[in-house]
Amino acid sequence: MKARSIELPLFFVRRSTTSPSLLFLASLPIAVIAVFVAVMIWVSFQRGMLGTPGAVYTLENYLAIFADPFLYRVLWNTAVFTSTTTVVALAIGLPIAWLAERTTIPGKTAIYAIMTLGLLIPGIYTAMGWTFIAHPRIGFLNRWLVDLFNLQDAPLNIATPVGMGFVQGLSLAAVVFILTAQMFRAMNPSLEEAAKVHGLSFLRTIHRVTLPLALPGILAAVIYVVTIGIATFDIPAIVGLGNRVYMLSTFIYLKVHPQGSGLPEYGITGAVGTCMIAVAALLTLLYGQVLRSGHRFEVVTGKGYRPALIELGGWSAAGWCFIGLYAFVSKVLPLLLIVYAALTPYFAPPSMEMMRHLSLVHFTNMEWGLVLRGARNTALLVAVVPLLVLVFAFAISWLVVRSRNRARYAIEFAAFLPQALPEVILAIGALLLALFVLGEAVPLYGSVWLIAIVYVAARIAFATRALNGSLLQIHREMEEAAFVSGLSTLRTARRVLLPLLRPTLLSVWIWTALLVYRELTVAVFLGVHDNITFPAVIWSYWYAGGMNKASAVTLLMTVLLAPLIAVFWWLGRRGQVAGQ
């Protein structure tokens, strides 16, 4: 069923587009993002220690990045890494989403639980876990293969762009799952049923009907994962840096945190970031086109729709084997590693000898002052950021979907921009802004609010994507009726739209909260003293070689996060969260 488009009377159009409150709310995060980008561009024209007389304006940063053959190698590595990440994430996330939404496979709540758990485990542990599996020298799988086939060299190596992409893909499969599950849920089954009636086999139906119908949603997920893949930091840092395999994110990190001689090259980072705006613009346009194609494919149906599920029968066991294998290698193994590392005095491959050293020393000696400071700041961020994201994203989505103003394209572009920019660039923009522009007039430097502002800016893209889709599904007649009944724009939003959007809003809230809870890059760049977060505490231990202490804090963090996950499951069972 194609969504009907009704031309609103001018009165309604004006009412829905000129609300100053909504316009203000939508403009605020956009202005912040614009300022961050402006700071980054300003920085890209400077060299030397910023803020000191040693800093000079120059074009050298741009010349340097284009003349640096090392950067081209880095870009190639990043392309291979991102492609592998995307393929692996899709190959795992997509089938599981399809199984969860379009089939009769049992235990769907458990599937959602498994996929959500992925977000609890920091990427550094997935990386370390896979180091013990597939590292050429200490990976047990490699040792086993070498012994079994009498090989000279280890056949697997995760310390390559492809290897790291595989590990990253395991992490991002959960994101693909979340992005595509809702699409499978909303997919009109009548075309599949028609294919079945016309005698197409199951596989041919998947190939000829299901996949083409899902293509816009899959492409949207691909773009989303690609942008994350380009910007991701933890796995390239853990596996790549030590093995001299550099990605764009680690290249930027090294420019800002030179490990040795020289000052931080913020200018180079700014120049790379400025170039990435072009990439972000391209991806935004592509994303918009994909969404528009989505409407042509007519996959979104209206009210009264009930999906027809595919009877799996005995294939359910195969489906669960696939999910179980994924859960084991991407979740259980790293989680076991965390427990093991938290209980051992130093880091070494599991052995009977090490089992004799197990103790609770890292828990009894835990620095509670620091841990509680981190927990308090993270709790504050989890409480505030998702709410702000929802408020701002709702205002933006409203303007983008409901208004006819040409400015909506600019707003949509600006809202998506942070998704395509590495968070580190936003963080650097915020840091320099707080230090050298705002200064003492607005004392944001070193405060948790600076981190909150960057988090809000960074998460707006995800939230607006979700809300745009949901707003498109709500017919304007509802609002028109409210307007006719005399409700103001804000009251219409509160009384009509918000209840209808509740599942999506809850979904966005919980996902934003989870992502804020585990976010590391921005927290590390902006953390000073009083604003250190829980993940930054873990990072500080890990970075200083305290893998075991870091594991103990991670375990604590996972246990504390359990209630949030419980809320998610509870809401999911009540059908309040989109996608469940």
Partner 1 sequence: MSEQLKHARLLSLGIFLLCCSSTAAFGASATLTQMIEGAKKEGVLRAQWSQNTFGGGEGFNDFIAGMNKKYGLNLKGQFTPGPDMQALMVRIAQEAAAGQPASTDLYMGNAQALFDGLKQQVLKPIEWGAIVDRRPPKDGSFDAIAADGTHMAIATAVVGIEYNTNLVKGTDIPKRLTDVLNPKWKGKIASTPYAAGLRELAMPGFLGREYVIDFTKKLSGQIAGLIRCGEAERLTSGEFAMLVLTCGGNDATVLQRSGAPLAQTIVQEGTVLHMRYAAIPKNSRAPNAAALMAAYWLTPEAQALLWKHDGLDLHLFPESHMKKDVDQVRAAGGKIVINTPEWLASLKGYAETQKELEKILREGGK
- Residue 128 CB, shortest distance to partner 1, in Å, is 9
Nearest to partner 1 of 83, 405 (CB atom): 83
Secondary structure string (H, E, C) spanning 514-557 = HHHHHCCHHHHHHCCCCCCCHHHHHHHHHHCCCHHHHHHHHHHH
Q: Which stretches of the chain bind partner 1, using CB under 8 A? A: 49-52, 70, 73, 77, 131, 135-138, 159-160, 241-245, 254, 257-264, 345-349, 357, 365, 367, 369-370, 373, 435-436, 439-440, 445-446, 527-529, 532, 537, 540-541, 543-549
Choice between 248 and 537, CB closer to partner 1: 537
Of 464, 312, 307, which Cα lies nearest the Cα of 401? 464
Residue 125, helix vs strand vs coil: helix
Nearer to partner 1, 15 or 135 (CB): 135
**CA neighbor of 175 nearest in space, from 123, 249, 103:** 123
How far apart are the C-alpha atoms of 275 and 268, rounded to whole Å? 11
Min CB(372)–partner 1 separation in Å: 12
Q: Give me the least distance between CB of 141 and partner 1, in Å please.
A: 15
3-state helix, strand, coil in the chain (%, to 5): 75, 0, 25
State the minimum distance, in angstroms, from the CB of residue 238 to partner 1.
Answer: 10
Integer Cα distance of 536 and 139 in angstroms: 28
- Residue (38 or 372) nearer to partner 1, CB: 372
CB of 452 vs partner 1, minimal distance in Å: 19
Following DSSP, what letter does each residue of 225-270 receive, concatenated? HHHHHHH--HHIIIIIGGGT---HHHHHHHHHS-SSSS---HHHHH
Q: How far apart are CA 578 and CA 395, in angstroms?
A: 19
Is residue 322 within 8 Å of residue 95, measured between CB atoms? yes
User: Which residue number, 66 or 346, has a Cβ lying nearer to partner 1?
Assistant: 346
Q: Which is nearer to partner 1, 423 or 480 (CB)?
A: 423
Whole-number minimum distance, CB 324 to partner 1, in Å? 28
Minimum Å gap between C-beta 126 and partner 1 is 16
Minimum CB separation of residue 561 from partner 1 in Å reads: 22
We find the least distance from the C-beta atom of residue 546 to partner 1, in angstroms, to be: 6
Nearer to partner 1, 202 or 346 (CB): 346
Nearer Cβ to partner 1 (14/137): 137
CB nearer to partner 1: pick between 15 and 549: 549
Q: Smallest distance from the beta carbon of 166 to partner 1, in angstroms?
A: 17
The minimum distance between CB 149 and partner 1, in angstroms, equals 20
Bridge partners for 396 per DSSP? none
158 in Cβ contact with 239 (< 8 Å): yes
Closest C-alpha among 253, 240, 276 to residue 525: 253
Q: What ranges in 118-201 are assigned the alpha helix state H?
A: 123-134, 140-149, 161-186, 190-197
Judge whether 461 and 418 are in contact, CB under 8 Å: yes
Secondary structure class of 337 (helix, strand, coil) = helix
Q: What is the 3-state secondary structure (H, E, C) of 7-76?
A: CCCHHHHHHHHCCHHHHHHHHHHHHHHHHHHHHHHHHHCEECCCCCCCCEECCHHHHHHHHCHHHHHHHH
Nearer to partner 1, 155 or 258 (CB): 258
In this complex, which beta carbon is closest to partner 1, that of residue 49 or of residue 63? 49
End-to-end CA distance of the chain: 23
Apex CA 369: angle with CA 366 and CA 373, to 5°? 115
